[in-house]
Structure 1
């Protein structure tokens, strides 16, 4: 191997070339600071996240069984306008659809004309607001 190639190899093996001899000391100090602050920062971020999760209130969850209990306790008949029975999954789906429409700004009064086959639409909407999307 030629002398020039050995020097190149030695430079690659020894790490970065530093023109200023005092710079090596500043890199060593920076490494010490980084080794100290990175775990400290990670610990603080974890602590803040834990405290935030503990303090923040839990969001209200959609409660399908509470929705159906509300309807049944308020005189819900589970019948379409033509007196055909309405299945429970259909009523729950309508309740969730009402909530989605409320989230995008459509009031119950605006939604009601779109459901003429549901004679108890206002009761279903009331139950949805109480049980499925209480924050709206």
Structure 2
């Protein structure tokens, strides 16, 4: 297993908060579905999509999460926003381009529960995989 920087969410967030987030935060929280890198099964997680300078991004704010590893292995995925599902492709952003995106993410989502604390604990943009997303044609 590779060594990775990742802050695992607490039990309550994983088992309760992540299931309820799309219900209460429909204007902010979307659902990302990506195929598991080992199982090939669809995995769905709540995410906040960053709109920045005309592009859309997914930020793994807790570090190298399973969904980020899965996207690296299978970049074709699905994003459900306000009940509408679209087929998308994710392309990882190089580390050198992440600092302004992480700053924008913190500005936009830093007020959400846990985001500010996690970003303070993992301040290096290199610790956060970021993916530019585009609709598949």
TM-score greater than 0.5 by the shorter chain:
no
Q: Give the number of the structure whose alpha-carbon radius of gyration is greater.
A: 1
Q: What TM-score, normalized by structure 1, do the two folds share?
A: 0.19
Bigger proportion of residues as helix: 1
The structure with the greater share of residues assigned to strand is 2
